[in-house]
Amino acid sequence: MGYESKLYVVNKRGSLPGESKQYAEVITFFNMCKFGAFNDIFTKEADCYIYADDGNTEITEDRYGNALKETSLENVIEYLEEYKTTQDHYRRVEPLLGLLKSFDISEWDNLVVLHYGY
Q: How do the pLDDT tens digits run along the chain, 118 residues long?
A: 568 999 999 999 988 888 899 999 999 999 999 987 788 899 999 999 999 999 999 999 999 999 999 999 999 999 999 999 999 999 999 999 999 999 999 999 999 999 999 9
What backbone phi and psi angles, to 5 degrees, belong to 20?
Answer: -90, -20
Q: What secondary structure letter does DSSP report for 34?
A: S
Residue ranges of E strands in 1-118: 5-14, 22-33, 44-45, 48-51, 58-59, 69-72, 111-117
Adjacent-strand bridge partners of 71: 113
List, edge to edge, every strand of the sheet that includes 111-117. Answer: 44-45, 69-72, 111-117, 5-14, 22-33, 48-51, 58-59
pLDDT at 2: 65
- Mean pLDDT in the chain? 94
Contact 59, 46 (CB under 8 A): no
> What is the rounded distance in angstroms from the CA atom of residue 50 to the CA atom of residue 65?
15
Share of the chain above pLDDT 70, in %: 98
Query: Structure pTM?
Result: 0.94
The number of distinct structural domains making up the chain is 1
The domain containing residue 106 runs over which residues?
A: 5-117
